[in-house]
Amino acid sequence: MATVTYDQATRIYPGADKPSVDRLNLDIADGEFLVLVGPSGSGKSTALRMLAGLEETNEGRILIGDRDVTKASPKDRDIAMVFQNYALYPHMTVRENIGFALKIAGMDKAEINRRVEEAAKTLDLTQYLDRKPKALSGGQRQRVAMGRAIVREPQVFLMDEPLSNLDAKLRVQTRTQIANLQRRMGVTTIYVTHDQTEALTMGDRIAVLNFGVLQQVGTPRELYEHPNNVFVAGFIGSPAMNLSTFDVDAASRTARAGQAAIPLSDEVLARITPEDNGQVILGFRPEALELVDASAEHTIPVEVDFVEELGSDSFIYGHLAGGGWRSEGREEGDAGEIVLRTPPLSGAREGDVIHARIKDGGLHAFSKATGTRI
Ligand SMILES: Nc1ncnc2c1ncn2[C@@H]1O[C@H](COP(=O)(O)OP(=O)(O)OP(=O)(O)O)[C@@H](O)[C@H]1O
Ligand SMILES: [Mg+2]
């Protein structure tokens, strides 16, 4: 087992004008399960491949334990990687598939059998050892791919979207198994996904990448409750945080967008700079909103587009009544939607205008100029 350190690690692909991983600094503790998330093209796979030695590190260093492995060949790094498109050998049994790398390495047959059988037991594959991959379910095949990594008893596991070709139900099941297995084995693990639910449920800590730049690293709770910038605020959480640009009205100490008025604290007001041009980006999660009477002061009037009743609670999807919402931080396809989570049967119906207020502690404020939390 070992720690992993990225120290200003940078990867610039030949011919590229910008780094795909840009001065990455990240310390991963011994035995930690770190989840690396970010949108497509943000550099997640590149960062993993740099650690595995499959991609050159152009600047900076990578350490495993105390050892600088920046220039070490992949086979000298003691890392096992599970890819999204793991290919099992179709003509080999599960036992042969799991033990193949050990056989190639010239390991003693008895030792191979011992390791394969132990891995199979861990992965609940003992009864399938003599089957061929085509006679296995998707989840079982995925576990065989894990088995190949486990038997190598590496210092570090790297997993690059290992669940992406499983169906939704199997994903949920398998991600629990992987998280449990990792905790039991205690091997330092970096797990890549672009599924933020996976990130929130599996990792000890999450590192968020965007355009090759590390945005924030912290526990799932820290990222959810205290996002450092607009990108992380919009990326972590589903449905996403409601985020819009507001105009600051210093006289009334409120932020305004269309007919919405949100009171600002002294702290937020004091941190707005001339570069922000009288604007601020405000965010509030769906569960941070509560319905209030139309006559209440400082509300967000929302015209309801549709209501989703989930039994335990309901989501109201709408938009700012009268317009004026300026979305921030969301990915494509955002039509200025505002989402509220309320107790079930709120009575709101399509076309209604309801009034929402942000609960205490539910407001996140970000600089318009820099996007960082204020
Ligand atoms: N071999 C390569 N040569 C040149 N550019 C590459 C190469 N591989 C990746 N890139 C570029 O580097 C950036 C990061 O790619 P990477 O594969 O690391 O992203 P990712 O976060 O894993 O995305 P995804 O979620 O789609 O797998 C992208 O802009 C990509 O186009
Ligand atoms: Mg990738």
pLDDT tens by residue, 171-181: 888 888 888 88
pLDDT of residue 83: 80
pLDDT band at 293 (very low <50, low <70, confident <90, very high): very high
Which ligand neighbours the alpha carbon of 49 most closely? 1
Q: In whole angstroms, what is the distance from residue 174 CA to residue 322 CA?
A: 46
Q: State the Cα–Cα distance between residues 216 and 108, nearest whole angstrom.
A: 45
Q: Where does 12-105 show beta strands of DSSP type E?
A: 21-28, 33-37, 59-64, 67-68, 79-82
**Predicted structure pTM score:** 0.91
CB-based contact 307:317 (threshold 8 Å): yes
pLDDT for 335? 67
Residue 216, CA distances (Å) to 36, 48, 113, 236, 305 in order: 10, 17, 43, 11, 34
Longest dimension (CA), the chain: 80
User: Phi first, then psi: what are they for 186, rounded to 5°?
Assistant: 65, 25
Among 321, 279, 281, smallest CA distance to 300 is for: 321
**Whose C-alpha lies nearest to ligand 1, atom 5?**
13
Task: Report whether 339 contacts 317 (CB < 8 A).
Answer: yes
Residues with Cβ within 8 Å of 13's Cβ and at least 6 positions away in sequence, in order, are 20
Q: What angle do CA 328, 333, 334 make, to 5 degrees?
A: 35
> Averaged over 8-19, what is the pLDDT?
97
Residue (of 74, 121, 73, 72) closest to 95 by Cα position? 121
Residue that wins the pLDDT comparison between 220 and 82 = 220
How many whole angstroms separate alpha carbon 101 and alpha carbon 295?
70
Query: CA–CA separation, 371 vs 366, rounded Å?
Result: 5
- Of the two residues 104 and 346, the one the predictor is more confident about is 104
Q: What is the mean pLDDT of the chain?
A: 93
The pLDDT value recorded for residue 176 is: 86
Mean pLDDT (whole number) for 247-252 = 94
What is the best residue among 18, 22, 42, 83 to mutate for testing ligand 1's pocket, by most ligand atoms within 8 Å of CB?
42
**Cα(239) to centroid(ligand 2), Å:** 23
Q: From residue 309, how far is each of 195, 313, 340, 341, 344 by CA, in Å?
A: 24, 6, 12, 10, 6
As a whole number, mean pLDDT of residues 4-13 equals 98
- Verify whether ligand 1 is closer than 6 Å to residue 210 (CB atom): no
Cα dist. 305→241, 338, 341, 356 in Å? 18, 10, 14, 15
Q: What percent of the chain has pLDDT over 70?
A: 98
Q: Which residue has the higher pLDDT, 113 or 197?
A: 113
The pLDDT, as a whole number, for residue 334 is: 59
First to last CA, the chain: 39
The atom of ligand 1 lying closest to the CA of 48 is 18
Q: Which amino acid residue places its CA nearest to atom 19 of ligand 1? A: 41
Residue with the nearest Cα to atom 14 of ligand 1? 43
